[in-house]
Chains A and B, each alone.
Chain A
Amino acid sequence: MNEMQYCNEVLVRLEELLFHELSGCAAWKTELVGVDFIQSKNIKGDTPDEIIQNCIREIKDAGFVADMTYEIGGKGIKLELKMKGCAHLPKENRLREDGVKPYICPITNMILDQLIEKLNYTTTYMGEMKIDETTGECRTRSAIFETPEMIGTVSNWDEE
């Protein structure tokens, strides 16, 4: 057993337990899971693009994902991340086998954390996490709010 497998097995048990205790609300409370890694990397940047690109570089260099792309849309509040070959994919698959919809994406948490920490974004929220186990691809869609006034900025993210 390698360290990543062990890490994923530990995460599965904790993610299951937390969902069992808090149901859907568990997802709201796990935003800091994974952020210690990225906080140790001294990410720099003055714009969302710079921050996100530098985070992706560190995440890929560490071998956590094989490939990763991003897109900002939805009037500036939608952040879509696509990942291939994520090291946490076995966690997501095991959770689904156990009947729990995965809700913690440490990789997404890292990037949202740095938007808050480095660019002083007001808040963020990951609203969707989709995993294709056949292709090994994941997609998350999050809202990123640069200012309090951006709360309530709505659009149809499926039509973009």
Chain B
Amino acid sequence: MGDILDVIKSRKSIRRYKPDPVPDELIDKILEAARWAATGENYQPWRFIVIRDPETKNKIGDLARLGSGSRMTTWYCLGEMQERFTKIEDPVKRDEVLRFMYSGEVSEFAKQAPLVIAVIGTLMEGSVDVPYDLSATAENILLEAHSLGLGACWVHGPVASTRDAKKFKNILNIPTGMGEYKVIAYIAIGWPKEDRKHPRPKLPLEDLVYWEEFGRKERPKYE
């Protein structure tokens, strides 16, 4: 069995795509990876809606722009967005990035992606831990797409608020009852039009790992 660490470590979110379509056999592989995700009690609550129709993708992109844009505009007006981007020293570049964020453009790239997969989960009686299962399947989609040379990005923006989630469901004819289906995200997929390498820096393990109990940083000898 191969070690997939290189696949995991080299993946990053891709938001710009070439217009070339994603072949059906690759779509099938991505969906196959999705259905093998970890799931509590093997419940497999996930359902996937594969979207290639430009009109539908435009609607999803518009909704994502409004969702992210409304929140980020507010955060900017309250001064919170600016604090998040103080690391960008060039003021012109910083303003450019901030405008990209608060305009909502940061989340509307479903419009350009050749392939969009909506990840939803059934909340029918007996379901447990649905959001966690959906997160696991979304990660599988990202990793499989990356391993096939594609780029992908998981977008929560258009379903983050209750009203927007309902709009999203309406676009795709998903039943809208709060007890029926949960929409966790859409995943945009396509051939990368940006550098796939140099993922953003990650926190070092020593900042993340405790041994045997919370707060204990030194690794004890264990035989």
Contact = CB atoms under 8 A, between A and B. Distances in A.
Given A128-B78, A158-B78, 7 more contacts: A28-B71, A32-B162, A77-B73, A127-B80, A141-B74, A145-B66, A145-B70
Contacts of B65: 151
B70 A125 contact: yes
A28 B165 CA distance: 11
Given A123-B66, A125-B70, A145-B70, A31 B78 contact: no
A153 B76 CA distance: 10
Interface string B75-99: 1111110000000000000000001
A142 B104 contact: no
Interface string B53-76: 000000000100111011101111
Interface of B: 62, 65-67, 69-71, 73-80, 99, 102-104, 156, 160-164
Contacts of B103: 151-152
A121 to B, nearest CB: 11
Lowest 3 A-B CB distances belong to which pairs? Answer: A127-B74, A151-B69, A152-B103
A143 B73 contact: yes
A156 B70 CA distance: 15
Max chain B C-beta neighbours (<10 A), residue from A77, A78, A143, A151:
A151
A155 interface: yes
B78 A116 contact: no
Contact of A151 (B66, B80, B164): B66
29 contacts: A25-B156, A25-B160, A28-B160, A28-B161, A30-B162, A31-B163, A32-B163, A77-B77, A78-B77, A116-B163, A122-B66, A123-B66, A123-B70, A123-B161, A123-B163, A125-B74, A127-B71, A127-B75, A145-B66, A145-B73, A148-B66, A151-B65, A151-B69, A151-B103, A152-B73, A152-B99, A154-B73, A154-B102, A156-B77
Given A29-B160, A29-B162, A155 B77 contact: yes
A31 B161 CA distance: 7
A20 to B, nearest CB: 13
A18 to B, nearest CB: 12
Contacts of B69: 151-152
Interface of A: 25, 28-32, 74, 77-78, 116, 122-125, 127-128, 141-143, 145, 148, 151-158
Contacts of A145: 66, 70, 73
A143 B161 contact: no
A142 B74 contact: yes
B134 to A, nearest CB: 14
B155 to A, nearest CB: 14
Nearest to B103: A152
Contact of A143 (B62, B74, B156): B74
B70 A124 contact: yes
B102 A152 contact: yes
Contacts of B77: 74, 77-78, 127, 143, 154-157
Given A127-B78, A143-B77, A148 B71 contact: no
Contacts of B163: 31-32, 116, 123
Contact of B71 (A78, A125, A155, A158): A125
Most A CB contacts (10 A, CB to CB) among B77, B79, B102, B160 go to: B77
B179 to A, nearest CB: 15
